[in-house]
Each structure stands twice: as structure tokens, then as C-alpha cells.
Structure 1
Amino acid sequence: MESPPGLPTTTAATPNPNPNRKKLTLIPLIFLIYFEVAGGPYGEEPAVQAAGPLLAILGFLIFPFIWSVPEALITAELSTTFPGNGGFVIWADRAFGPFWGSLMGTWKFLSGVINIAAFPVLCIDYMEKIIPALESGWPRYLAVCVSTLFLSFLNFTGLAIVGYVAVILALVSLSPFILMSLIAIPKIKPHRWLSLGQKGVKKDWNLFFNTLFWNLNFWDNVSTLAGEVEKPQKTFPKALFVSVIFTCLAYLFPLFAVIGSVPLDQRKWESGFHAEAAEIIAGKWLKYWIEVGAVLSGIGLFEAQLSSSAYQVLGMADIGFLPRFFAVRSKRFDTPWVGILISTVITLGVSYMNFTDIISSANFLYSLGMLLEFASFIWLRRKLPTLKRPYRVPMKLPGLVVMCLIPSGFLIFVMVIATKTVYLVSAIMSVAGIGWFFLMKYCKSEKLFKFSANEIQDIEEEE
């Protein structure tokens, strides 16, 4: 059957087998987006280590305008136009066909689960300041493994619960930074903000841009939760707007406070330095509070991004890209336990990598997906100019092209400066993704598994 003119055939969430399922409302969605992207200033410190105070401040001031805002605007338009759990997979398929939709799914899913692996590692980086035994060896590996499994189980208990927990985690984890920033005001020396770094310290552009990118990307991850959101056409634009402002301020205030009040030693500005700075500014009590906040932030980051990855798997099964059993939900909690299990296993598999390698690999795969996403956005505007869009970026096609070209240039730069290890990992995963598409195509033709009948079809434009 064809859809009525102007309406996508399968853009809405698939029929809800549980009419009593709790939907995400505005406030929990804002904080889930916040944890999809940031989770607080934890992890921003290497930007100072890599390029010095001034460039770190400018990075967190300017980068949101050339990256975060365009990505959030695109997510708002496409998520409200195609409000299903397939998210960006649907967008690429609508624009370029199932091969590119499947490859988009591979890139974004793998970048997501690799990124998830960074959060237990980041938590341990903070905790080792208190418990030195976690610095290396089997205690560190055991701590990462146990925390990953425990947090995955929490995710299993339900998305609505995760959303409200995110609100609490954000408020508690940010509170010590608010207090630290206020206490630091009398100690701030503004000239420190203008420092280009210590003499003799070579700038590490790879670390600098990857740190900015890792701290300010993944805005579109929330699109895979669109089928779980109450009134997504209205809720998504509001949530994205608020979360962009909230996220940027959460990075900038502590950065200004610590740089301005603590003498510069770039070598110390590694992940976890904010806790050391808190001790200098206010004492050990605030250091410990930030350590606890880091753990809570890591929990929020882990939960939000695991939810997106798990619901992406469910969404791809809903639209026929994966066998139907990938969409199985828990009868008790109504969560996609198959997606959660798959995401957790892959996350554990990459947990042995160091923090820099983790975020670099995630950034490279994410860059490939974002280039395809920008192309899909532009092509859909050109291909379907009269398609009903509940939220529409208020620009014409030439302006949209410029808006996408600027961050695309940055994406290419991030990919060019990647290490050989990152190239190798990304190439292997991309080839695996291509092979997966043809494997699924073969399984469909031979009817080896059951696939959803809600496969994506063409869209007719409004007359």
C-alpha cells in the first residue's frame, strides 16, 4: 500500500505493543540529550594540555557554533519529520537507499558503543586519584568490567527511569563545579585566560580537536529514541535548544574558573585534573565531591548512550534492516534487552583500549556517519522540498549547504590527523558493515530469519 501524498510510509514509530508504555517528556529528554553529548566538564581538561588555556577556551566558545548548533538543528528537523527509533538510519535510507542506510547504522552503532566504553574508563581515571590501586593492572581491568556490567543492568530497568535518573545525576554531578567556580572568583587572574601555553610544550592538535569533538558531538544520538518520546514533533526542538545552551555553559564556567585561579602546569591537565584543581581552590572535601560527581556523570553518560545504541538496534529491526528478534523487548521492563546485550558485549570488547584511542576510534567512525548524515539532510531537502516537516531549519538550500560544509571540513580534518591504529580499526569495521548488509540481504532472500514487514519504501511528495 502507498502512503497518502506527503506522508512517509514508515516514519512514525512502529505500532506500540504496550499502550501503557511510559513516554519520555520534555525535562527527562533535555537531560538525556545532555548526557548523550556531555555529562559535565569531566574530560575537557586535555584540551588545555594539548593547546594551552586560550585555545582551549576559544575551542569551547567557537566549536559549538560550527558543530553543535548545526548538528542539533539537523537532528531537530529530521527527527520530527521521521519520528521512528531508526533515527539517522531512516534518514540515510530515505536519501540514498538501503545500502547507505545500513552502513550508516554500522558506523553510528559502532561509534556509539566504542564511545560508551570511554565512560567507565573516565570514571576510573577520576577514582584512581583516591584509590591508587586502580591506576593499572588487574584491579583496573576488573573495575572497568564490573562497572560496565552493573550499568548495563541499570539500563535494562527502563528508559523512563533512566530519563528521570539523568535529571538527578546532572544536578548532583554539576553542583561541585558550580560551587568551585564561585569559590574561585576572588582568586581569578584574567591574564591567565590569554596564555597560549607554556614554553617548550608542543601543541598536540590530534588530542586537542579530538577532545573538543568528543565533548561536543553525538547530538543526533537522541534520534534513535524518537519513537519513545511524547509528542516528538513539539518536544524535540525545545529539548535540543535548551540542552545546547545548558551543555556549553557547563563546559565554559569551570574552564574559566580553573584556568584563571590555578597556576598553569600543562602536563597536569589530563582527564581528572578538575578534581586536583578543586583541592587547590577549596580543599580536599571539594576534590572528593568532584570525584563522586565524575562517577555519577559517567553513569549518566553510559546510560543515555547505551539507551540510544540499544534503541537503534530495535529501530533497525522495526524497519527491516535486522531480523525481527533484534527488536525483542523485556516483558517486565519493556526495554530492548537484545540491543542492550549486544551493545554491552562490544563495549567490554574495546574497554582494554586507552582513553585517547577509544575517543579517536569513536570520532573517526562518527565522522564517516556524520558526513553521510549531512549529505542525507541536503539531499532530502532537494529531493523532497514539499515534504511536511513539523520543524524546519529556517534556511534555503544554499544556506544549508554552507551550514553543513563548515563542520564537514572539520570532520575531514579529524579523519586526516587520525593515527594508523584508528585507520585500521575503522577500515575493519566499515568492511564488516558492508559485509553485514549483504549478509542480511541474503538472509532475506533465503528467508533464513523473520524480518519486519515495515520495510522502508519511497516517499511521495505533497502535491
Structure 2
Amino acid sequence: MQPRRTLNFTNLVALTFFCVSGGAYGFEDAVGAAGPMIALLALLIVPWLWSFPTALMTAELSSAMPEDGGYVIWVNRAFGRFWAFQEGWWSWLCSFADNALYPVMFVDYLTYLIGDLTPLYRWVIGVAVIVPISWLNIRGAKPVGVSVTVFTVLVLAPFAALVVLGLPQVDPATWLASGGKAEWGLLLSVVLWNNCGWDNAGTCAGEVEKPDKTYPRAMAVAVVLVTFAYLLPVAVGVGVDKNWDQWQEGHLANVAEQIGGPWLGSWLAIAGLISAVGLLSALLLTSSRVPYAMAEHGMLPAPLKTLHSRYATPWVAIIVNSIGVAALIPFSFQELVQVDMFLYALSLILEFAALIWLRVKEPNMPRPYRVPFGLGGAIALSIPPVLLCALS
């Protein structure tokens, strides 16, 4: 039995959107760290130095090796089992911290609506979010793909309202203003974290229809979608709410309330709940394919490669990932982000090394999509994200 190819172009765009972004939630700390001008410049520059290179790398390697496991398969083919295990292990550990962020985010936006919660209630609610998402993932990639496609519309709708209603209230001079707390390390980590995850879309390549054509198109559309999903709401928000030192996780709901009243603030908070569900669902799908692929190649215990008899999904890996996520819910958002980014940087450097080395080792490998300009183009593409990984 093999996983089924059920994810279409639209599903892959939505899945990638949630693997990377899920809306402008979580970017507020960048404004608080550096002020509006630097934060907006980061949103304009980072896609060219980070998002586009990682998306193009994912498009080339996923279309060339359309198997579940993504970067584990890429690194194994380039460097062999030892480095493939390191890649998979780092990425799997990273996924526990990364996926645990979203039940935490769900509870953070819930407190905006209902007030503070005790640590026990926060954990119970987080687990209550994980259970149905795990069940949906066991049902298959297609139900997850359809649900995140719907969630994309639901999440972007209140941001569109914020932009339309807030634009007449914006003071454009604020876009060139300095401010914030001058916490440059925090700025870099927040901006990169909000733009990481493009390679996760490659882990489910064995379940994507016509991956040779679907991946390049989906990556291109997703980069544009993610860039504007951050840039427009943040540009309007900083132009209306000038208390930039107070911008932190969850602050966009307060900005929405200033712009449109309590109804818009509540709508944005409710969409934040939906975003957290979409993020967790998409990333549980992609991250569970990592231990599955590692088990398929003899790097982890065999039960992790077990496929559901009806849905052909790696249900054991999904459950193991869900348990690991539940265990990390008590940790703070900031603690989880720091662990997440450290492990992600290690694995991403290895992925770009695989992109380059496979051009040398297997120049004639069928590549339905190629990063332009030959080996030199692949090397040039890799330099900015690798340098940013080293700095993060």
C-alpha cells in the first residue's frame, strides 16, 4: 500500500500558506522590536533573500523526487543515510516545538475573547484542539487539503476588512518612522520564523497530483500570497496604532478594534483561532511524513511506517507527533520559537547543500523544474538563506 495522490494545486497552495504563515498573526513582535520602518523593510526584503530561495529549492527537489518524506529523501540521495538521519531527526524534533506553537496560539487568541485561563485549562483546551485535528489527518491528506483551503479564505477575510477600513485612517509618514525596543535579534528571529516552512510542503510530495507541474506553480503563488498577507495588514496597522513599543503577540486584534470597533477585533481573534487550527493541521500532515519516511528507510522503528488500512495514512506517526505536541503545550510561545528556529536553521542548511551537491553528483537527474542558471544559480540562490540561518 502507498499513500494516495489526492492533493491538487489549490490544496497545495493553501497547505503551503499554512505551513509558512496562516496570516499576519505572530508578526507583531517584529514591530515592537524595531519599529515600523525596519519591520516593513524586512517584509519587503526577506521574501527575496529567504522565501523565494527556499520555495524554489523545494520546487526543484520535490518535482525531481516526488515521494513522501521530502528533505529526508533529498539529503539521503545527496549524502547518504547518516546525514539523512540527522536531517530527519533535527526536522522531527523541530516539528514538535513548531507544532506546539499553534495550540498555544489558539489559547492566546481565546483569552482575548473570554479572559485569562489557568495553566491547566490552557493545556486541556490545547489537547482538545489536537485530538480532532489528529483524527482529520488520519482520514487523509485530501480532507486536510480541503479544510485548509476553506480556512485560508476565512483567515484572510478579516485582514482584508482591516486593510479596507484602516487605509483611510493611515498616516503614511509612520511608515518611515523609527521606534521599537531596538531588539535586533528578536526582529531577525520573528521575521525568519514567520517566513519559514516552505520546505515542509515537500514532505507530502507522494500525495500531490502531477507534482512535476503542481509544485513550481503552487510555490510561486504561495510566495506572493504570504508576502501580501503580512505586508498589507502590518502596513495599515502601524499607520493607525502608533504605540509600537506595545506591539506583541496578539496585538493585531487590538489594532483591528481601533480601526473598526469591537466586532472587527473579535472577528480577527476568531480568525486567529481558525488560523491556529489550520497551521496545526497542515504541519501535522507534513511533519508526520518525516518519521514515516525515516522508518521506510530503516532509520526509525518500523511501526512508524504503518499505513492505515482504509485511509493509507501514516497513522502511528500522526499519533506519536500529536502526543509530542501535547507534551510541549505548557511551554511559552517565545521558548518554543527559539528551539524551533535553531533546529530549523540546521536542517535548512543541509537541504540547500543537497540542492547544490545533487547538481554536481547527478547532473542528468530528471528535474521537471530547475532553479535557473545552472550550478552557479543554485549556489547563488543558497547563499542568502544559509547566511540568515547562521545569523538566526
Deviation at 1:286, TM superposition (A): 0.7
The 10-residue stretch of structure 1 (396-405 or 49-58) with the greater mean CA deviation from structure 2: 396-405
The residue that corresponds to 1:84 in the other structure is 67
* 8 Å CA contact 1:64, 1:248 repeated in 2: yes
User: TM-score normalised to the size of structure 2?
Assistant: 0.97
SS in 1 for 2:113: coil
Deviation at 1:128, TM superposition (A): 1.1
Q: Distance in 2 between matches of 1:244 and 1:187?
A: 28
Count of residues paired in the alignment: 392
The residue that corresponds to 2:87 in the other structure is 104
The residue that corresponds to 2:352 in the other structure is 374
**Pairing 1:275–2:275 present:** no
**Pairing 1:174–2:156 present:** yes
The residue that corresponds to 1:155 in the other structure is 137
Larger Rg: 1
The 10-residue stretch of structure 1 (400-409 or 369-378) with the greater mean CA deviation from structure 2: 400-409
Deviation at 1:324, TM superposition (A): 3.1
The RMSD of aligned alpha carbons is 1.4
Structure 2: tracts of 5 or more residues without a match: none
Paired residue for 1:401, among 369, 373, 379? Answer: 379
**Pairing 1:285–2:269 present:** no
Deviation at 1:383, TM superposition (A): 1.3
Paired residue for 1:331, among 309, 317, 330? Answer: 309
Deviation at 1:329, TM superposition (A): 1.9
The structure carrying a bigger helix percent of its residues is 2
Deviation at 1:268, TM superposition (A): 2.3
**Structure 1: which amino acid aligns with 2:120?**
W
Q: Name the CA shift for 1:392/1:366 in 2 (closer, same or farther; >3 Å).
A: same
SS in 2 for 1:216: coil
**Structure 1: which amino acid aligns with 2:108?**
D
Deviation at 1:153, TM superposition (A): 2.6
The residue that corresponds to 2:244 in the other structure is 266
The residue that corresponds to 1:241 in the other structure is 220
Structure 1: tracts of 5 or more residues without a match: 1-15, 415-463
The residue that corresponds to 2:107 in the other structure is 124
* 8 Å CA contact 2:5, 2:206 repeated in 1: no
Q: Distance in 2 between matches of 1:90 and 1:147?
A: 31
SS in 2 for 1:39: coil
Q: Distance in 2 between matches of 1:185 and 1:79?
A: 40
* 8 Å CA contact 2:119, 2:330 repeated in 1: no
* 8 Å CA contact 2:32, 2:181 repeated in 1: no
Deviation at 1:22, TM superposition (A): 5.5
**Structure 2: which amino acid aligns with 1:224?**
T
* 8 Å CA contact 2:61, 2:74 repeated in 1: yes
Q: Distance in 2 between matches of 1:70 and 1:184?
A: 33
The within-5 A match list for 1:45-444 is 45-134=28-117, 136-197=118-179, 202-262=181-241, 264-414=242-392
* 8 Å CA contact 2:27, 2:194 repeated in 1: yes
**Structure 2: which amino acid aligns with 1:355?**
F
* 8 Å CA contact 1:85, 1:316 repeated in 2: no
Regions of 4+ moved over 6 Å: none
**Structure 1: which amino acid aligns with 2:240?**
S
Identical columns (%): 38
Deviation at 1:320, TM superposition (A): 3.0
**Structure 1: which amino acid aligns with 2:63?**
T
Q: Distance in 1 between matches of 2:42 and 2:249?
A: 17
